[in-house]
Amino acid sequence: MKEADTAMPRILVCFGTRPEAIKMFPVVHALREHGGMDVRVAVTAQHREILDQVLQVGGIVPDIDLDLMRPDQSLDELAARILTTFGKALDEWQPARVLVHGDTLTTMMVTLSSYFRKIPVGHVEAGLRSGNIYSPWPEEVNRKVAGAISDLHFAPTDGAAAALRAENVPQSAIHVTGNTVIDALFATRDKVADEPALASGLDMVAARFAGKRIIALTAHRRENFGQGMQDIAQAISDLATRNDVAVIFPVHPNPNVRPVMEAALGGRENIALIEPLDYPHFVRLMEMADLLLTDSGGVQEEGPSFGKPVLVMRDTTERPEGITAGTARLVGTDRALIVREATRLLDDRDAYNAMARAHNPYGDGKASRRIARAVAAAHGVGTPR
């Protein structure tokens, strides 16, 4: 690790998964652009290859790489390794603050490790709650633990801030910033516009499905493993019987996802089961798509920025603002309901437009700058450069 400038407060930004990296690379850049802080990045590499793709696109080189990914590791094994290895990194560098994101196992264990050393934690995308500790699982508890320990809470929406106040978080500790995924989305969209080759890998798939309406699909959530994944696969199979529709599905490498989807959907003429996409290609896929089906959290926030209706294949969501605004609709993993709602949007232009034109409640692309100002102020750093 490089020698730190001890005159400046040390800020350590930590994440471990692809979605975290997408949402945190704009924060890293905003902190560094603000100035007056020694900003470093630590990754647990809870996801390895797909994390590295985002780091490259986001222009982030980790200062600390714990490289903790192992095949088929259990949650308790990973949790123990994050806690002990990250603790050593904290002892070595002794930051003034740690920043974490969202609701992953990395988030919870890094927060605990920091707490054991009385290092304050700032929580980006704070206050999301479903009210059910098993849905999403284990994310609901991960973020509640982080919220109980953090002293700076960067809530993406007013609803998230209200959830924090309901848990007795002081108003002075809450900053409503918008969601940093919109910052990342706009930055990547502009980068792809300047350098189309960054997302050219979808060109052959797009040509293959010319004239068809594209359904973009993502599915990876733990609580959907087993019967839920099988029901999602059968619903997609039903939708693919339409001659006017094609499905593009970047299949998550998790062994609870890939074999199920390949068995049910492999070899279908109008279904493309492709490898996980780097972020520029995924942004391009959302632009191409007519409809987004997902159990992801981030897609619920990103899709509305492109005017794409989102069907959420979960029973609950910690992002109710999209449901309220009309940009997203919960369909769970119910095979018949997924097919019915997707068909309605494909066939009813008024229903489609009502979702596509709804206001995106998740931000304006300036969340990272707001976070950087709040972190700097907490450590006595003046106005940005």
Structure-block tokens of residue 89: 């990194």
| Residue 280 · residue 316 · CB < 8 Å | no
From residue 242, give the alpha-carbon distance in Å to each of 214, 245, 331, 342, 347: 12, 6, 20, 12, 11
The residues assigned a catalytic role are 103, 125, 139, 220, 222, 252
CA-CA distance, 199 to 278, in Å (whole number)? Answer: 9
Structure-block tokens of residue 73: 């590791």
| Residue 321 · residue 155 · CB < 8 Å | no
| Residue 199 · residue 283 · CB < 8 Å | yes
Range 325-341 burial, b when 16+ CB lie within 10 A, else e: ebbbbbbbbbbebbbeb
Range 125-134 burial, b when 16+ CB lie within 10 A, else e: bbbbbbeeee
